Amino acid sequence: MSHPALAYRPIFDDRETCLDRFRNVRAGTMRLIDGLAAEDMQIQTMPDVSPTKWHLAHVTWFFETFLAKPRLTGYQAFDPGFGYLFNSYYEQVGDKWHRPDRGLLSRPLLNRILDYRSHVEAAIEHLINSASDEEWLQIAPLLELGRQHEQQHQELLLTDIKHVLSLAPEPYAPFKGPLGEAPGAGESGYIAMSGGLVEIGASQADFVFDNELPRHKRWQEDFEIAARPVSNAEFLTFIEDGGYRDSRLWLSDGWAWVRENKISHPLYWRKTDAGWQEYTLHGLAPLQPGLPVCHVSAYEAAAFAEWQNARLPTETELELLARRHPAEGVLLGCGDRYHPGALTPGDGAQSVFGDVWEWSSSGYEPYPGYHPPDGAVGEYNGKFMSGQQVLRGGSCATGRNHIRATYRNFFPAHSRWQFSGIRLARRTRPASTLASA
């Protein structure tokens, strides 16, 4: 996931509702930094990570650039240099600060960025209240886009700061609530799904990103999909069975990645004298067997599937599953948990939304008939349609009203600092497959 792009026909409700939503998303971001010091928010531990400070400013820059500056008469830019600093990748908007060097800037200080937030918030509120009805028709969809964009950066802020804090010699827990125990989830069953001529993609009744469009037909064979994500206990068995040392299980690029980076377990697992532990945003804790495995790459997901004689689902299959369920689960804003929740025994579908993103086997490609919107906001999704793999379903760090069945997240196959997990799939009649092909 890098960013949303303007949907074609976004919803726009009355101004009061929109203003509430705007205030909520802004306040939600601030709640995430409660336990952090300015020094924590300063650091960039790898090129993929952005400092918390940068996220706070960038989402503000988005509102300033696409709403305040072009739409609010007499708006005074907070600082003319901020465009250069806080543009993420919009080539059409101008030059930008070199991404891997975001952590090298102590100035502007956090306090000045918080002032920037207030300055732009006041302008946006004024804009909402003062726009003519005609202007409002232009403003509302961009406002919603900015809100969705900030939700996406809330998730990145959490996964980025998790990476930063995980490197501290003594693990620091920014969130205080206990994780609880998750003793185990029993056997996982498969759910039989019927195929045929299906439709996926968004139908545009609501806000969606451009990459979810257009809704279109696909042919789908019958298939089976796991009732729940893979658990820590199951993944531990893979490790103990030598999964990370058996080249036959791995994609060629994955095997090269394992060897070059000496990978032998998920990103935040640690093997200690006291057994396996896992670093979470609630602190370092003994590995819980019944939690979903997370922070794995698509390579690890595919190798695990191969070891299970299964496969990763396509994004079509994940969307077909998701359409059957409400977009509810362990999501950001539903409580004080910043980690996936416990899996439970039983055959019913679990964790379809929330908890962990699920790697699909599908490359991130345009849907038939896709075309990005014009202008700079069109640089949102389409230009990343190369070299990335689709994930579905949202995680515990995804906003609770942000995820939906058609939502397409995407990352390179080696990425694993997001809350990414595994759901398996298989053919309906695996035994006779090859013979009858």
Q: Which residues in 163-222 contact its own copies (CB under 8 A)?
A: 164-165, 167-170, 172, 197, 204, 213-219, 221
Residue (141 or 354) nearer to its own copies, CB: 141
Of 298-337, binders to its own copies (CB under 8 A) are 298-299, 302, 311, 314
Instruction: Tell me which of 23, 245, 324, 371 binds its own copies, using CB under 8 A.
Output: 371
CB of 406 closer than 8 Å to CB of 212: yes
Q: How far is the CB of 37 from its own copies (least distance, A)?
A: 5
Instruction: Tell me which of 188, 350, 362, 418 binds its own copies, using CB under 8 A.
Output: 362
Q: What single-letter DSSP state applies at residue 372?
A: P
Instruction: Tell me which of 66, 209, 250, 279 binds its own copies, using CB under 8 A.
Output: 250
Instruction: Tell me which of 34, 73, 74, 107 binds its own copies, using CB under 8 A.
Output: 107
Q: Enumerate the H helices of 14-132 as residue ranges.
A: 15-32, 52-63, 69-71, 82-86, 110-130
Q: How far is the CB of 330 from its own copies (least distance, A)?
A: 27
Q: How far is the CB of 175 from its own copies (least distance, A)?
A: 15
Binding range to its own copies, per CB under 8 A, among 141-149, 264-272, 278-286, 379-387 = 379-387
Q: How far is the CB of 159 from its own copies (least distance, A)?
A: 16
Q: Which of 201, 211, 165 is nearest to 410 (CA)?
A: 211
Q: Which of 149, 35, 57, 154 is nearest to 102 (CA)?
A: 57
For tokens 């827990």, name the residue. 173
How is residue 286 written in tokens?
A: 């003994």
The residue count for binding its own copies (CB under 8 A) is 73
Sequence-distant (≥ 6) Cβ neighbours of residue 135 within 8 angstroms: 71
Binding range to its own copies, per CB under 8 A, among 20-28, 284-292, 338-346, 360-368 = 360-368
Considering the rule CB under 8 A, would residue 437 count as an interface residue with its own copies? Answer: yes
Sequence-distant (≥ 6) Cβ neighbours of residue 264 within 8 angstroms: 239, 244
Q: How far is the CB of 218 from its own copies (least distance, A)?
A: 5
Residue (6 or 342) nearer to its own copies, CB: 6
Q: Which of 351, 247, 327, 340 is nearest to 296 (CA)?
A: 340
Supply angle C-alpha 121, 58, 367, rounded to 5.
110
Sequence-distant (≥ 6) Cβ neighbours of residue 78 within 8 angstroms: 64, 115, 116, 119, 120
How is residue 71 written in tokens?
A: 């739409």
Q: Which of 424, 425, 417, 423 is nearest to 1 (CA)?
A: 417
Residue (76 or 203) nearer to its own copies, CB: 203
Residue (80 or 348) nearer to its own copies, CB: 80
Considering the rule CB under 8 A, would residue 126 count as an interface residue with its own copies? Answer: no
Q: What are the E-state strand segments in 293-366?
A: 357-363
Residue (357 or 359) nearer to its own copies, CB: 359
Of 73-102, binders to its own copies (CB under 8 A) are 81, 84-85, 89, 91-92, 97, 101
Sequence-distant (≥ 6) Cβ neighbours of residue 68 within 8 angstroms: 75, 120, 123, 124, 127
Q: How far is the CB of 411 from its own copies (least distance, A)?
A: 13
Q: How far is the CB of 217 from its own copies (least distance, A)?
A: 4
Residue (7 or 331) nearer to its own copies, CB: 7
Residue (23 or 217) nearer to its own copies, CB: 217
Q: Which of 200, 238, 237, 227 is nearest to 426 (CA)?
A: 227
C-alpha torsion sign, points 243, 247, 251, 254: positive
Q: How far is the CB of 166 from its own copies (least distance, A)?
A: 10
Residue (219 or 348) nearer to its own copies, CB: 219
x/- map, 10-49, its own copies, by CB under 8 A = ---------------------------xxxx-xx-x----
CB of 303 closer than 8 Å to CB of 313: no
Residue (197 or 274) nearer to its own copies, CB: 197
Distance, in Å, from the CA atom of 339 to the CA atom of 279, rounded to the nearest integer, reads 10
Of 251-270, binders to its own copies (CB under 8 A) are 251-255
